[in-house]
Amino acid sequence: MTPGARIAAAVDILEAIDNASIPAATKPADDAAANYFRRRRYIGAKDRAQISAYLYAVLRRRAVIDWWIARASRGEVTPNPRSRIIAALLLVDAWAAEEIAKSFDGGRFRPAPLSRDEERLVLGLAGRSLTHPEMPRAVANDIPDWLEPYLAKLYGNRLETEMAALNASAPLDLRVNPLKADRDTARRALAAEHIDADPTRWSPLGLRVAHRVPLAGTAAFKDGLVEVQDEGSQIAALLAGARPGMRVVDFCAGAGGKTLALAAAMRNRGKLVACDTAEWRLERAGKRLRRAGISNVERRALSSERDPWVKHHAPKGKEGGFDRVFVDAPCLGIGSWRRNPDAKWRSSPQDLAELIERQHAILDSAARLVKPGGRLIYATCSLLREENEAQAETFLDAHGDFMLYPAARAWAETIGGDYPQSDRPAGDNYLRLTPAAHGTDGFFVALFERKAEKKEPLTAEDAKDAQRAQRPRCG
């Protein structure tokens, strides 16, 4: 493909993303690109990689790009997929003005020629860099205006460092499936197919590949030795402490990433129920479970977090209930912006308010499944205190039969080694991970243990009745 044809393809994908009417939690950039390439099998791997580079240059720096478009064009050019690509070529890839004109010439498969306003935009941006001292802090950090106060309060003078890492591209993390291999075996299998993978810093099951590779075609993936899973997500599942023989629920299982990790920790012994309100997501998990060799998972579609199934499976006295209930709650997904940068522009204050209410409802209902002495694990890929510590505190205030189980203690029991300290006031009680501090996606984990039922002391009359019951009877 010519450079112009690649640019035209990137513009088409950006338009598809803009026209998609979907929630912020989904991944329209990945889906739109995959659909575009699926319909055009003739596009080679190198062309796909370059088209994706143009696409993500815009998605990762959209606030900065829009600011420059408004400034350089004096408001005469509207930010849209075409103008954003033009600006990204100049500001990110440092194209010369002449190169832009050559690619936007209206030739076959290439974009239409530049308008006069676009020509002025090109001249105004040529030779510029992405940064400018007059940019507002939200723009310079490429975050929505409404989110900047939340993140600034959270990180203070570390905001720039944290956001720079969050706006960078993410590595490819793999989780080794202990049912089929150990980390060294999986690493050798990948190396045999010319894929270099290094052990992750924190997760004992993790491997990190620096660059994107066609993993789906490898024997290591097809045979279930490895699964794609960010190191932070691996850690969240490990902290649950699921063990062979336990009864476990993955309450918001989705497509099954953490279900796979929990089942592997259980060594296919015990019972694991994967729940979700979207049956199609659970169906997608089926293929992954079979590939991983997992046989102890029951998939259960729920009508809502208050589905009658929850009440029916709540513990009754000493019977029933679950040892572990894992809640990977729906959230704004700020911690996954490295992989899903377009999500930041599809979220709003109303989304946050609705998510906080939903998280509370999900925790409240899922807690009913935990048996005395069992644990409830709450995880998000969010950074906001409102979705994390505040939710944990609200839960504890409303549920006197639960107590906080320190994340550092769970770490020592399940992972061991150095605990990833946070510069935030989470201390040892909660786990906070960020790309800047730990090299993972942003993750939060809180654990709650249900207090064991207290035995009431026997009265004198009860003691006499017990003695009578133990006396041998004549036949």
Q: What CATH topology corresponds to 172-228?
A: Alpha-Beta Plaits (3.30.70)
Which residue's structure tokens are 């194209």?
95
- ∠ Cα 303 318 450 (to 5°): 70
Task: Determine the Cα–Cα distance for residues 292 and 120; give it in Å rounded to an integer.
Answer: 56
CA 307 from chain centre, in angstroms, equals 25
Q: Is the pLDDT of residue 157 over 60?
A: yes
Which residue's structure tokens are 């009417």?
21
Q: What is the pLDDT of residues 459-473, one digit of tens each?
A: 455 555 555 544 444
Q: Is the pLDDT of residue 423 over 90?
A: no
Greatest CA separation for the chain: 109
Q: What is the pLDDT of residues 248-269, one digit of tens each?
A: 999 999 888 999 999 999 999 9
- Domain range summary for the chain, segments of one domain joined by +: 3-135, 172-228, 231-450
> What three-state secondary structure class fits 76?
coil
Burial state string for 435-448 with b = 16 or more CB within 10 A and e = fewer than 16 = bbbbbbbbbbbbbb
- Give domain 3-135's CATH architecture: Orthogonal Bundle (1.10)
- Predicted pLDDT of residue 469: 46
> 457: which 2 tokens?
């002391």
Task: Determine the Cα–Cα distance for residues 57 and 60; give it in Å rounded to an integer.
Answer: 6
Q: What CATH topology corresponds to 231-450?
A: Rossmann fold (3.40.50)
**pTM of structure:** 0.90
- Predicted pLDDT of residue 284: 86
333 neighbors 340 (Cβ within 8 angstroms): yes
- Predicted pLDDT of residue 317: 78
Q: Is the pLDDT of residue 207 over 80?
A: yes
Lowest pLDDT segment from 31-35, 139-143, 175-179: 31-35
Which residue's structure tokens are 């989470």?
426
417: left (phi over 0), alpha (psi -120 to 50) or beta: left
**443 has which bridge partners?**
433
Q: Which residues contact 271 (CB under 8 A, 6 or more apart)?
A: 246, 247, 248, 296, 298
